[in-house]
């Protein structure tokens, strides 16, 4: 996609569609007269009569007057300008992206200055415009043989503004990077499990490593057995597919590989529940049980593009959880990479097992702080609904810093408590150090708290995205299906940490 910045008159916009933001009082826009002239001076009357709406996200499509380069105009309402935030602006442009995709408008001009306010500047608009349009127009390439529709993508987006061209270009580029990474994560989650196996997930990591010069390490079953990764190997026992532990290292900070942030993702490519078998309706959609891995891959794509000055290691534990004569079962006792033993009470609590070994490996590889991301429990949906990511932590300052990134991206995160009594229940077993399922009460807390047992004293945040990883219907930033949640927040957090470094420019 080509992005251009142009300081020119509105009537010179010559691409397929001109996108204009209409606040509650559009006559106060700086170049209102030029816009009004495109419609023979009648636009304000149409606004007053309700034919063109300024209500938030309301869309009106009109052909422009003859004699100008403008072919047609898509107005999108902004409501009261003083209430417009950067998150709302992102949703506005996502709505525009959906509309333009429906019209197959691949070449678009945006009058960027019509979206600016006293608190939102032109670079905010550029960032939101490119990111929102790409998120809103996302589609998954399905496997239907009867469709004749070609895949949609924007060929050119032109931003018309009087603001500094270099600043707008930089902001638009960051918006593009964020959106493309989220869409890549979405595609991973949407891919069927017979196609996206652990081996294929490792191949995706290889592509990222080659593109961004990451250091790559991929451990197969034999290497895991040599190291003693009994937790992930137990989950894999029932499968005919090889497991993979995927490690990507980005050396953007100091050269001695210290002060390293570890990002750990659950990569269960399909989850039957094992011998603690899910009901048939509960099994549908379990191709998305690798949403945590997708989020980490998305974050690493952003990091690879923007090159923040921070050392980052990403660890993905990937396998499916199947049923066979060899599958692990309730009452088994397994030994994790850390040496801790685990009594298996529920084979459907497998995500925390693979994360246990992945977190341990991240620590052994130099991670000084950890964030794990997983579609871990149905309990988080019961507690918080489907629009909030649940969190646990063992470090207040670390979590508060992360929350600033969450607020910046608008990806809602809510912390739940993890008490000593919760930890005591996780450590209750007659035969092992830990049990993997103390009960249904406090389900999300016990799931994440189990992972915390392997983080130990290392500053750690657990993110349960079981509710937010997929949307059951079209939403503000995209279509039904995978959302790519947490890719932007994880990367933004790394960028913020890099900016805080003493030698950061």
Q: Which of 352, 363, 388, 488 is catalytic?
A: 352
Residue 177 lies in a domain: no
Look at residue 248 and tell me whether its pLDDT is greater than 90. Answer: yes
Residues 201 and 159 in one domain: no
Residues 130 and 189 in one domain: no
Look at residue 504 and tell me whether its pLDDT is greater than 60. Answer: no
Q: Which of 278, 309, 415, 427 is catalytic?
A: 278
User: In the block, which residue shows the tokens 């902004």?
Assistant: 78
- What is the per-residue pLDDT across 280-317, written as a single tens digit (0 to 9) for each? 999 999 999 999 999 999 999 999 999 999 999 999 99
Examine the residue annotation and report whether 278 is marked as an active-site residue of this protein.
yes
Examine the residue annotation and report whether 307 is marked as an active-site residue of this protein.
no
- What is the per-residue pLDDT across 396-436, written as a single tens digit (0 to 9) for each? 999 999 999 999 999 999 999 999 999 999 999 999 999 99
CATH code, domain carrying 282: 3.40.630.10
For residues 436 and 342, the answer to whether their CB atoms sit within 8 Å is yes
What's the angle, vertex CA 414, arms to CA 409 and CA 415, rounded to 5? Answer: 130
What per-residue confidence (pLDDT) applies to 18?
Answer: 94
Residues 366 and 488 in one domain: yes
The pLDDT confidence band at residue 148, using thresholds 50, 70 and 90, is low
CATH code, domain carrying 112: 3.40.220.10
What per-residue confidence (pLDDT) applies to 150?
Answer: 66
Per the structure block, which two tokens stand in for 91? 């949703």
Mean local confidence (pLDDT), 150-163: 91
Residue 334 lies in a domain: yes
Mean local confidence (pLDDT), 18-23: 96
Look at residue 15 and tell me whether its pLDDT is greater than 50. Answer: yes
Mean local confidence (pLDDT), 203-212: 98
d(CA 285, CA 271): 9
Per-residue DSSP letters for 311-345?
EEEEEEEEEEE--STT---TT-EEE-TTS-EEE-S
What per-residue confidence (pLDDT) applies to 505?
Answer: 45
Residues 322 and 438 in one domain: yes
Residue 86 lies in a domain: yes
d(CA 189, CA 484): 8
Per the structure block, which two tokens stand in for 97? 């992206």
What per-residue confidence (pLDDT) applies to 503?
Answer: 59
Classified as helix, coil or strand, 392 is: strand
For residues 128 and 80, the answer to whether their CB atoms sit within 8 Å is no
Per-residue DSSP letters for 469-494?
SEESS-BTTB-SEE--TTHHHHHHHH
Residue 176 lies in a domain: no
d(CA 285, CA 287): 5
The pLDDT confidence band at residue 144, using thresholds 50, 70 and 90, is confident
Residue 261 lies in a domain: yes
Distances, alpha carbon 378 to alpha carbons 85, 384, 388, 462, 479, in Å: 32, 10, 13, 15, 22
d(CA 480, CA 470): 8
- What is the per-residue pLDDT across 322-374, written as a single tens digit (0 to 9) for each? 999 999 999 999 999 999 999 999 999 999 999 999 999 999 999 999 999 99
Residue 173 lies in a domain: no
- What is the overall mean pLDDT for the chain? 95
Residues 319 and 452 in one domain: yes
Classified as helix, coil or strand, 260 is: strand
For residues 346 and 436, the answer to whether their CB atoms sit within 8 Å is yes
What per-residue confidence (pLDDT) applies to 149?
Answer: 63
Residues 120 and 193 in one domain: no
| Residue 459 structural domain | 184-500
d(CA 7, CA 45): 28
- What is the CB neighbour count within 10 angstroms for residue 142? 9
What per-residue confidence (pLDDT) applies to 40?
Answer: 87
What per-residue confidence (pLDDT) applies to 384?
Answer: 97
Residue 505 lies in a domain: no
Residues 10 and 129 in one domain: yes
Residue 385 lies in a domain: yes
Domain count, the chain: 2
d(CA 52, CA 49): 8
Residues 268 and 318 in one domain: yes
Mean local confidence (pLDDT), 432-455: 97
Per the structure block, which two tokens stand in for 300? 């690493």
Longest CA span, the chain? 84
Residues 261 and 299 in one domain: yes
- What is the per-residue pLDDT across 83-115, written as a single tens digit (0 to 9) for each? 999 999 999 999 999 999 998 999 999 999 999
Percentage of the chain exceeding pLDDT 70: 98
Residues 217 and 139 in one domain: no
Residues 264 and 127 in one domain: no
Residues 385 and 355 in one domain: yes
């Amino acid at each position: 996609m080509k992005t251009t910045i142009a300081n020119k008159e509105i009537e010179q916009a010559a691409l397929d569609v001109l996108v204009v933001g209409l606040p509650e009082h559009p006559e106060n826009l700086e170049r209102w007269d030029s816009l009004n002239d495109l419609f023979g001076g009648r636009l304000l009357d149409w606004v007053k009569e309700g034919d063109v709406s300024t209500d938030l996200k309301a869309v009106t499509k009109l052909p422009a007057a003859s004699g100008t380069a403008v072919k047609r105009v898509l107005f999108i309402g902004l409501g009261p300008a003083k209430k417009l935030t950067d998150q709302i602006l992102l949703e506005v442009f996502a709505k525009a992206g959906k509309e333009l995709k429906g019209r197959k408008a691949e070449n678009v001009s945006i009058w960027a200055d019509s979206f600016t306010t006293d608190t939102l500047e032109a670079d905010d608009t550029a960032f939101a415009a490119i990111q929102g349009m790409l998120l809103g127009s996302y589609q998954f390439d399905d496997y239907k043989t009867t469709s004749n529709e070609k895949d949609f993508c924007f060929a050119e987006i032109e931003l018309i503004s009087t603001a500094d061209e270099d600043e707008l270009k930089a902001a638009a580029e960051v918006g593009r990077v964020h959106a493309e990474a989220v869409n890549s994560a979405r595609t991973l989650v949407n891919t069927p499990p017979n196609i996206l196996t652990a081996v294929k997930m490792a191949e995706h990591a290889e592509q990222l490593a080659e593109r961004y010069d990451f250091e790559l390490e991929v451990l197969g079953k034999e290497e895991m057995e040599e190291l003693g990764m009994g937790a992930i190997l137990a989950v894999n026992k029932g499968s005919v597919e090889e497991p993979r532990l995927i490690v990507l290292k980005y050396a953007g900070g100091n050269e001695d590989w210290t002060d390293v942030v570890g990002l750990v993702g659950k990569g269960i490519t399909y989850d039957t529940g094992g011998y603690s078998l899910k009901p048939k309706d509960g099994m549908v959609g379990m191709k998305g049980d690798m949403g945590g891995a997708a989020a980490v891959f998305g974050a690493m794509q952003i990091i690879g593009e923007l090159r923040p000055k921070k050392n980052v290691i990403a660890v993905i534990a990937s396998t499916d959880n199947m049923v066979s004569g060899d599958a692990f079962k309730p009452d088994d006792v397994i030994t994790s990479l850390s040496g801790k033993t685990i009594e298996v009470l529920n084979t459907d609590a497998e995500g925390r097992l693979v994360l246990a070994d992945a977190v341990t490996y991240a620590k052994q590889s130099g991670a000084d702080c950890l964030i794990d991301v997983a579609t871990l429990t149905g309990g988080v949906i019961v507690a918080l609904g489907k629009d909030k990511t649940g969190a646990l932590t063992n470090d207040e300052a670390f979590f508060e810093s992360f929350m600033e990134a969450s607020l910046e991206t608008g990806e809602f995160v809510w912390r739940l408590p993890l008490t000593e009594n919760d930890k005591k229940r996780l450590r209750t077993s007659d035969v092992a150090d830990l049990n993997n399922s103390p009960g249904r009460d406090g389900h999300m807390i016990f799931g994440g708290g189990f992972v915390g047992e392997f983080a130990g004293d290392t500053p750690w945040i657990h993110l349960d995205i079981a509710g937010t990883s997929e949307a059951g219907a079209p939403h503000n930033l995209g279509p039904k299906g995978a959302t790519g949640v947490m890719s932007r927040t994880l990367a933004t957090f790394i960028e913020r940490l890099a900016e805080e470094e003493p030698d950061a420019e």
